Structure 1
Amino acid sequence: MKLGFRRTAVQALCTVLILCGLIGGTRVWGRDMPVAAFGKEEGVELPILMYHSILKDGARQGKYVLSPNALAADLDYLKKEGYETITVADLLAYVKEGAALPQKPVMITFDDGYFNNYVYAYPLLKDRGMRAVVSVIGSQTALFTENGEENAYWSHLKLEHLEEMQDVFEVQNHSWNLHEYGERRGCLRRKGEDEVSYESFLREDTEQTQELLVEAGLPEPTCYTYPFGACSKESEQVLRSMGFQCTLGCSEQINTVTRDPECLYGMGRFNRPAGVSTSSYMKKALGE
């Protein structure tokens, strides 16, 4: 068979497939993108679970405080259902290097960096061979590193804890000190604040946590976790210009991870409150 005839035959076949709707494009983040292979690029569904404080005291449990027993039940549920934990580093390897992800990936995140994460969450995860992401408030880590306090109710993780837990926890940036309610909500621009001042402010705050962690010998964070989940186009632009390759918000949605780096910005997560059974929470968070 001559090459020209073979090419003509292939082109004819492709034309038929296009007319039948078997070859087309896929919509990624609002843009039509061509797909090299037959069919639609599906991507990988990634649920991200969001935890905060872990305490035994039932009187303290609520929207952002969960018991160790409830956390253990959640982890056992994930193991039983065949989910495998991943970190931001795994996402970057998948998107940028073509590495594989587990068949049923899940990301477990802990916000704020409470000392009780070390007391309760760390051993529970380690015993099960699971990984997680902890996003620390830099000023709090610096404060308790300096004063040495270790109280499950109010202390935050010290740098030595973060160093010790690297076999389980990947450390990311949750701002230096943007968790106070006031004129600014999280890292959002204040009313009347000019663009230059805002960018300078956000860069300075973010860089303080980056420097704290790097100077302690920890890997430089690649992901920014928004305080209160409050984000904007302006904040995204600043963080991207600083080299962040991923941002985590608080919108409750399951993420679809593709080879497009854009999919790693503004990722959704499901907060885990007390007072809800493991099965009910997981049904919602995992889309089961």
Structure 2
Amino acid sequence: MYHAIAERPAPATRALSVTPGAFAEQMALLGARGFTPVTTARLAYAWRTGAPLPERPVLITFDDGYEGVHRHALPVLAEHSFAATLFVSTGWLRGRYETGGAPDTMLDWDQVREVAAAGLEIGGHSHTHPQLDQLADGPLRGEAGRCREILGRELGAEPVSFAYPYGYSTRRVRRAVRAAGFAQALAVGNALACRTKGPYALERMTVRRTTGLAEFGRLVAGRGLLRSFAGDRALTKGYAVIRRARRTVTVVRTAGQGGPGGW
């Protein structure tokens, strides 16, 4: 899971950014080790139908829709003939749907169309990038549905894959994403994707600015995950308790006012 690809990212995106040089080295490592990148849609289709996958499949995904994906990542992917999936928050992209709040320079719609024309899958990442589990049912449905509607209108085909903003979801969120028409969705989890998790809770590993090439090599081989992400998992468990408490308070306050399937 990548975010911004940039030499000088905005402070808000720096930790989760990767330099163009580091990204190029990581893609070269995948090629040298015989990995074959596939799109999220292809992986999900294979797991649903039993269609074959390459011997060493890997997902390359980008969240949010930063301009550096077009400027820096796209040429590297083209050099290796690599597939990838770009998940965009439609209200963060530059253009007529822009809602503000984006933490760095984002893609515009012409660039998104160029990325799609280059063969990358374009997926949904909500409209305004909220914490979906903290929304009431109506706004939650709107975030997923509006994102899919706009992408379909702009690209000529509605997206089938979704990535949860901040990587977090609940059963209620997953139901809403499925009801909006998405066939599969990605979380974070910092673990290898596992078919038994089902199509709406596929896990990914975070690539950061501090991820060195040796560590990257271990991660894609499925080694060293506990060591690399121990701090993340501890924080995630604690934050999950906080999120559930916040949601409970919200439900109680609004109480008087007017699950996803498997493969």
TM range, normalised to the smaller chain?
0.7 to 0.9
Matches within 5 A, 1:189-204: 189=134, 198-204=136-142
Amino acid across the alignment from 1:165: V
User: Equivalents in 1 of 2:9, 2:89: separation in Å?
Assistant: 25
- Give structure 2 stretches of 5+ with no counterpart: 224-263
Partner of 1:135: 87
User: Equivalents in 2 of 1:155, 1:105: separation in Å?
Assistant: 31
Change (3 A) 1:59 1:216: closer
1:125 to 47, 57, 77: 77
User: Does 2:123 match 1:172?
Assistant: yes
* Alpha-carbon shift at residue 285 of structure 1 (Å): 3.8
Structure 1, 247-256 or 110-119: larger mean CA deviation: 247-256
User: Equivalents in 2 of 1:243, 1:57: separation in Å?
Assistant: 37
Higher strand share: 1
Look at both structures and tell me which one has the larger radius of gyration over its CA atoms. Answer: 1
For residue 66 of structure 1, give the secondary structure of its aligned residue in structure 2. coil
* Alpha-carbon shift at residue 189 of structure 1 (Å): 3.1
Identity %: 24
User: Does 2:218 match 1:283?
Assistant: yes
User: Does 2:71 match 1:71?
Assistant: no
Amino acid across the alignment from 1:274: R
Change (3 A) 1:74 1:236: same
User: Equivalents in 2 of 1:104, 1:235: separation in Å?
Assistant: 31
Q: 1:126 touches 1:168 (CA, 8 Å); kept in 2?
A: no
Matches within 5 A, 1:226-265: 226-257=164-195, 263-265=198-200
- Give structure 1 stretches of 5+ with no counterpart: 1-49, 180-185, 191-197
Matches within 5 A, 1:97-176: 97-141=49-93, 144-146=94-96, 154-166=104-116, 167-176=118-127
Higher helix share: 2
Structure of higher RCO (CA pairs closer than 8 Å, 6+ residues apart): 1
Q: TM-score, normalised by structure 1?
A: 0.70
Change (3 A) 1:168 1:279: farther
Change (3 A) 1:146 1:265: closer
Q: 2:9 touches 2:104 (CA, 8 Å); kept in 1?
A: no
* Alpha-carbon shift at residue 58 of structure 1 (Å): 8.1
User: Does 2:158 match 1:220?
Assistant: yes
Q: 1:188 touches 1:232 (CA, 8 Å); kept in 2?
A: yes
For residue 74 of structure 1, give the secondary structure of its aligned residue in structure 2. helix
User: Equivalents in 2 of 1:221, 1:140: separation in Å?
Assistant: 17
Structure 1, 55-64 or 160-169: larger mean CA deviation: 55-64
Partner of 1:208: 146
User: Equivalents in 2 of 1:173, 1:147: separation in Å?
Assistant: 14
User: Does 2:205 match 1:270?
Assistant: yes
Partner of 1:56: 7
Q: 2:61 touches 2:84 (CA, 8 Å); kept in 1?
A: yes
Q: TM-score, normalised by structure 2?
A: 0.76
For residue 42 of structure 2, give the secondary structure of its aligned residue in structure 1. helix
Question: Would you say how many aligned residue pairs link Structure 1 and Structure 2?
Answer: 217
* Alpha-carbon shift at residue 93 of structure 1 (Å): 2.6
Deviations 1:65-97 (A, max 9, x none): 110000000000000000000012212331333
For residue 53 of structure 1, give the secondary structure of its aligned residue in structure 2. coil
* Alpha-carbon shift at residue 219 of structure 1 (Å): 2.4
